[in-house]
A and B are shown apart, each in its own frame.
Chain A
Amino acid sequence: MGKLWLICIASISILLPFLCNAFSPETPTDRRVLVLLDDFAIMSSHSLYFNALKSRGFDLEFKLADDPKIALQRYGQYLYDALILFCPSVERFGGSIDVAAIVNFVDSGHDLIVAADVNASDLIREVGTECGVDFDEDPSAMVIDHIGYAVSGTEGDHTLIASDDFIKSDVILGGKKIEAPILFRGIGHAVSPANSLVLKVLSASPSAYSANPKSKLSTPPPLTGSAISLVSIVQARNNARLLITGSLSMFSNRFFRSGVQKAGSQIKHEKSGNEQFLTEISKWIFHERGHLKAVNVKHHRVGETDEPALYRINDELEYAVEIYEWSGTSWEPYVANDVQLQFYMMSPYVLKTLSSDKKGLYSTSFKVPDVYGVFQFKVEHQKLGYTSLSLSKQIPVRPYRHNEYERFIPAAYPYYGAAFSMMAGFFIFSFAHLYSK
Chain B
Amino acid sequence: MPTNLNFEMARSLVGFTVLLLFLSICESASFFQPISDSHRSAAVELFSPDHGSFKSLEETYEALRTFDVLGIEKKPDVTATACRLVSETVGSSSSTLKDLFYALKANSIVKCKINDKAYQGIITRLNAAVDGASSLPDFYYSVGGLLLVKGSKGDVHLADADGIFRSVKAFRQSDGRWRFSSNSPESSAFAAGIALETLAGVVSLASPELDQSLISTLNSDISKLFDSIEKYDDGALYFDDKLVDGHDHQGPLATTSSVVRGLTAFAAVTDERLNIPSNKILGLANFFLGIGVPGDAKDLFNQIDSLACLESNRVSIPLILSLPSTVLSVTKEDSLQVNVNTVLGSNAPPLTVKLVGVFTSGSKAASLVESQELVFDDGTGMYNLNNLPKSIDVGSYTFVFEIVLHEPEHEKIYVTGGQKKVPIFASGLIKIENAEIAVLDSDLGSIETQKKLDLAGQNAVSLSANHLQKLRVSFKLTTPHGLAFKPHQALLKLRHESKVEHIFVVGNSGKQFEIVLNFLGLVEKFFYLSGRYDIELAVGDAVMENSLLRAIGHIELDLPEPPEKATRPRPQPVDPYSRYGPKAEITHIFRAPEKRPPKELSLAFLGLTFLPLLGFLIGLLRLGVNLKNFPSNTVPATFATLFHVSIGAVLSLYVLFWLKLDLFQTLKLLGFLGVILVLVGHRVLSHLAATSAKLKSA
Which residues from chain A sit less than 8 Å from chain B, CB to CB?
A: 38-48, 51, 62, 88-89, 117-119, 144, 146-147, 152-159, 167-168, 185, 191, 193-194, 196, 199-200, 206-207, 209, 211, 213-214, 216-221, 224-225, 227, 248-249, 252-254, 257, 314, 338, 340, 342-343, 348-353, 366-367, 369-371, 382-384, 409-414, 416-418, 420-432, 434-437
**Which residue of B21, B570, B574 contacts A248 across the interface (Cβ within 8 Å)?**
B21
In the complex, whether B628 has a CB less than 8 A from a CB of chain A is yes
Cβ contact within 8 Å between A369 and B590: yes
CB distance from A235 to the nearest CB of B (A): 11
Name the residue in A147, A200, A414 with the highest tally of chain B Cβ atoms < 10 Å from its Cβ. A414
Residue of B nearest to A368 (CB): B588
- Among B476-534, those with CB < 8 Å from A are 488-491, 493, 501, 503-505
Q: Is the CB of A157 within 8 A of B28?
A: yes
B503 nearest CB neighbor, chain A only: A220
- For B294, give the chain A residue with the smallest CB separation: A44
User: Does the CB pair A253–B295 fall under 8 Å?
Assistant: yes
Known contacts A117-B21, A154-B323, A220-B505: does B28 contact A350 (CB below 8 Å)? no
Q: Are A252 and B25 touching (Cβ within 8 A)?
A: yes
A147-B540, A340-B582, A424-B613 known; A156 vs B630 contact (CB < 8 Å): no
CA distance in complex: A349, B590 (Å):
11
Partner of B21, one of A89, A352, A421: A89
Give the distance to chain B from A328, nearest Cβ to Cβ, in Å: 23
- Separation of A213 and B27 alpha carbons in the complex (Å): 13
Q: Are A425 and B616 in contact (CB under 8 A)?
A: yes
Q: Is the CB of B583 within 8 A of A435?
A: no
Also in contact, A418 and B609, with CB within 8 A (given A146-B547, A434-B629): yes
B580 proximal to A (CB < 8 A): yes
Q: Which residues of A contact B591 (CB under 8 A)?
A: 370
Residues of chain A lying within 8 A (CB to CB) of residue B489: 144, 146, 209, 211, 217
Could you tell me if B610 and A417 are in contact, using CB atoms closer than 8 angstroms? yes
Chain A contacts for B574, CB-based, 8 A: 193, 196
User: Is B664 positioned at the interface, with any CB of A under 8 Å from its CB?
Assistant: no
Q: Which residue of A lies closest to B544 (CB)?
A: A146
| Given contacts A351-B585, A427-B651, A41 and B627 within 8 Å (CB-CB) | no
Q: Is the CB of A218 within 8 A of B505?
A: yes
Pick the residue among B17, B325, B586 that contacts A153 (CB under 8 A): B325
Q: In chain A, what residue has the closest Cβ to B600?
A: A410
Q: Between A and B, how many residue pairs show CB distances below 8 Å?
A: 276
Question: A417-B610, A435-B630 are known contacts. Are A156 and B427 too (CB-CB below 8 A)?
Answer: yes
Which 6 A-B residue pairings sit nearest by Cβ, starting from the closest? Answer: A146-B540, A156-B425, A47-B295, A40-B16, A146-B547, A153-B325
Which one, B21, B251, B612, contacts A42 given CB within 8 A? B21
Contact assessment for B325 and A154 in the assembled complex, using a CB-CB cutoff below 8 Å: yes
- B590 near A314 with CB under 8 A, answer yes
Q: Which residue of B lies closest to A224 (CB)?
A: B503
Contact A414:B602 (CB < 8 A) given known A156-B427, A338-B582, A435-B630: yes
Nearest-Cβ distance from residue A155 to partner chain B, whole angstroms: 5
- Chain B residues in the interface with A (C-beta under 8 A): 13-22, 24-25, 28-29, 38, 41-42, 251-253, 291-296, 299, 323-327, 362, 396, 423-425, 427, 488-491, 493, 501, 503-505, 536, 538, 540-544, 547-549, 570-574, 576-577, 579-588, 590-591, 596-597, 599, 602-603, 605-610, 612-613, 616-617, 620, 625-630, 640, 644, 647-648, 651, 654-655, 658, 684-685, 688
Chain A nearest CB: distance from B585 CB in Å?
Answer: 5
Are A421 and B612 in contact, CB atoms less than 8 angstroms apart? Answer: yes
**Residue of A46, A194, A420, A426 with highest tally of chain B CB at under 10 A:** A420
8 more CB-based (< 8 A) A-B contacts, given A40-B13, A213-B488, A410-B596: A38-B19, A42-B21, A117-B21, A154-B28, A206-B549, A220-B505, A257-B293, A436-B628
Asked if B585 and A39 make an inter-chain contact with CB atoms under 8 angstroms apart, the answer reads no
Contact residues in A for B586 (Cβ distance below 8 Å): 342, 348-352
Please determine whether B579 and A196 come into contact, CB atoms closer than 8 angstroms: yes
Q: Is there contact, CB below 8 Å, between B25 and A249?
A: yes
Give every chain B residue within 8 A of A434 (Cβ-Cβ). 629, 640, 684-685, 688
- Chain A residues within 8 Å of B572, by CB: 193
Asked whether, in the complex, the Cβ of A420 is within 8 Å of the Cβ of B544, the reply is no
Asked if A431 contacts B644 (CB within 8 A), the reply is yes
Shortest Cβ distance from residue B220 to the other chain A in the assembled complex, whole angstroms = 32
| CA of A196 to CA of B612, assembled, Å | 78
B38 contacts A257, CB within 8 Å?
yes
Q: In the complex, are the beta carbons of B627 and A431 less than 8 A apart?
A: yes
Q: Provide the bound-state CA to CA distance between A119 and B25, in Å.
A: 12
B251 pairs with A40, CB closer than 8 A: yes
B549 CB contact (under 8 Å) in A46, A147, A343: A147
Measured between beta carbons, the chain B residues less than 8 angstroms from A157 are: 28, 396, 425, 542
In the complex formed, the residue of A with least CB distance to B486 is A216
- Closest B residue to A424 by CB, please name it: B613
In the complex, what residues of B have CB within 8 A of residue A424's CB?
613
CA separation between A62 and B627, bound complex, in Å? Answer: 117
Nearest to B504 among chain A residues (CB) is A220
Q: Point out the residues of chain B lying under 8 angstroms from A350, CB to CB.
A: 586-588
Q: How far is the CA of A384 from the CA of B578 in the complex (A)?
A: 10
B606 contacts A417, C-beta separation under 8 Å = yes
From residue A148, how far is it (CB to closest CB) to chain B in Å?
Answer: 10
B654 touches A254 (CB 8 A): no
B538 near A437 (CB under 8 angstroms)? no
The closest CB in chain B to the CB of A432 belongs to B625
CB neighbours of A370 from chain B (8 A): 588, 590-591
Name the one of B25, B292, B488, B603 contacting A144, with C-beta atoms under 8 angstroms: B488
Q: How far is the CA of A26 from the CA of B378 in the complex (A)?
A: 69
Given A144-B489, A351-B586, A431-B627, decide whether A416 and B28 contact each other with a Cβ distance below 8 A.
Answer: no
List residues of chain B with CB within 8 A of the CB of A211.
Answer: 488-489
**Interchain CB contact (< 8 A) of A430 among B251, B610, B644:** B644
Check A435 against B542 for contact (C-beta < 8 Å). no
Q: How distant is the Cα of A189 from the Cα of B15 in the complex, in angstroms?
A: 34
In the complex, residue of chain B having the shortest beta-carbon distance to the beta carbon of A350: B588
Q: Check if B396 sits within 8 Å of A156, measured CB to CB.
A: yes
User: A257 and B17: CB pair below 8 A?
Assistant: no
Contact B327 A435 (CB under 8 A): no
**Can you list 18 A-B contacts (CB < 8 A)?**
A41-B16, A42-B21, A44-B299, A45-B19, A153-B324, A156-B424, A157-B28, A191-B573, A193-B574, A207-B538, A257-B42, A340-B583, A349-B588, A369-B588, A411-B596, A421-B610, A425-B612, A436-B628
If A218-B505, A219-B505 touch, whether A45 touches B294 (CB-CB below 8 Å) is yes
Rounded to whole Å, the gap between the CB of A166 and the closest CB of chain B is 12
Known: A147-B549, A351-B586, A384-B576. A338 touches B581 (CB 8 A): yes
Residues of A with C-beta under 8 A to B29: 154-155
Question: Nearest CB to that of A212 among chain B residues?
Answer: B488
Chain A residues whose CB sits within 8 angstroms of the CB of B588 once the complex forms: 343, 349-350, 367, 369-371
Q: Complex Cα distance A18/B623, Å? A: 103
Q: Measured between alpha carbons, how far is A96 from B608 in the docked complex, in Å?
A: 96
B571 to chain A, nearest CB (A): 5
Which residues of chain A come closer than 8 Å to B325, judged between CB atoms?
A: 153-154
Q: Is the CB of A45 within 8 A of B620?
A: no
Identify the closest chain B residue to A382 (Cβ).
B580
Q: A154-B323, A220-B503, A369-B588 are in contact. Are A436 and B16 (CB under 8 A)?
A: no
Is A224 within 8 A of B493, CB to CB?
yes
Q: A44-B17, A425-B613 are in contact. Are A436 and B584 (CB under 8 A)?
A: no
Shortest beta-carbon distance from B500 to chain A in Å: 11
Could you say which residues of chain A place their CB within 8 Å of the CB of B613?
A: 421-422, 424-425
Partner of B629, one of A47, A146, A409, A437: A437
Given contacts A51-B295, A216-B488, contact A428 B620 (CB under 8 A): yes
CA–CA, A257 and B292, complex, Å: 11
Measured between beta carbons, the chain A residues less than 8 angstroms from B570 are: 193
Q: Which residues on B sit within 8 Å (CB–CB) of A417? A: 605-607, 609-610
Q: How far is the CB of A8 from chain B (nearest CB, A)?
A: 19
Contacts of B28 in A (CB 8 A): 154-157, 159
Residue of A nearest to B252 (CB): A41
CA of A44 to CA of B293, assembled, Å? 10
